[in-house]
Structures are given as C-alpha cells and as structure tokens.
Amino acid sequence: MINPTIISHLDETEKGWEGCLSVPGIRGQVPRYREIEVEYGDRHGNIHRQVFTDFVARIVQHEADHLNGIVFVDRVETTRDLVTEQEYQKLISVD
Ligand SMILES: [Zn+2]
C-alpha cells in the first residue's frame, strides 16, 4: 500500500487499544473511524480503492497517520486514556 489516502469514512468512531513501536511502553484508547475508503498505489503503479472496516480500518488509519507525522498518543481524547504497558497487560487479562 503506497501513499494511502483516506477518501471517505463513516462518521461513526470507536475507541480501541493501540500501541506502537515508535512509542514503546505505552498503550492508549484511540478513537478511529469504523469504516474508511482508501485510495492507494501498489508496487506496480496500479491505483486501488478499497473499503476497510473495524480492526483493519484502525491499522490503516494508524499507519497513514505515521506518514503525516502523527502517532497514536496525538489522537487520544484525554491522558486518562493512556496507560503503561504493564497496566495494559493487567487490563486485558481481566477482560
Ligand atoms: Zn505505529
């Protein structure tokens, strides 16, 4: 997926846990669009349009943000939505 551009999205967002190798030791609840339509190129120069939903839509939004210098901690609504990796591991083991 080369130069992805989110060309449309549903207004509905959902918070979900994210982490990132660029921000080690921290996890956060990040709001993302549940459904996005993305235009991107492939390695052969072909242009594609594809709809992604839920977890895959979250990944594409996270990675597309990187291309624009944005990391997930920039997207959390409040610092209360940030936890350490240790706290995160406790939280998901209870669920
Ligand atoms: Zn990342």
Residue 69: give its domain's CATH number.
Answer: 3.90.45.10
Over residues 54-68, the pLDDT tens digits come to: 999 999 999 999 999
User: How far away, in angstroms, is 56 Cα from ligand 1 center?
Assistant: 14
b/e burial code for range 68-90 (CB count within 10 A of at least 16 → b): eeeebbebbeeeebbbeeeebee
User: How far away, in angstroms, is 14 Cα from ligand 1 center?
Assistant: 18
Pair type for strands 35-41 and 2-9: antiparallel
| Whether 63 is catalytic | yes
How many distinct structural domains can be found in the chain? 1
- Give residue 3's Cα distance to chain centre: 16
Instruction: Give the pLDDT confidence score for residue 95 in this predicted structure.
Output: 60
Containing structural domain, residue 84? 2-94
Rounded Cα distance, 95 and 93, in Å? 6
Per-residue pLDDT of the chain (95 residues; tens, 9 = 90+): 999 999 999 999 999 999 999 999 999 999 999 999 999 999 999 999 999 999 999 999 999 999 999 999 999 999 999 999 999 999 999 76
Q: Which of 14, 35, 39, 63 is catalytic?
A: 63
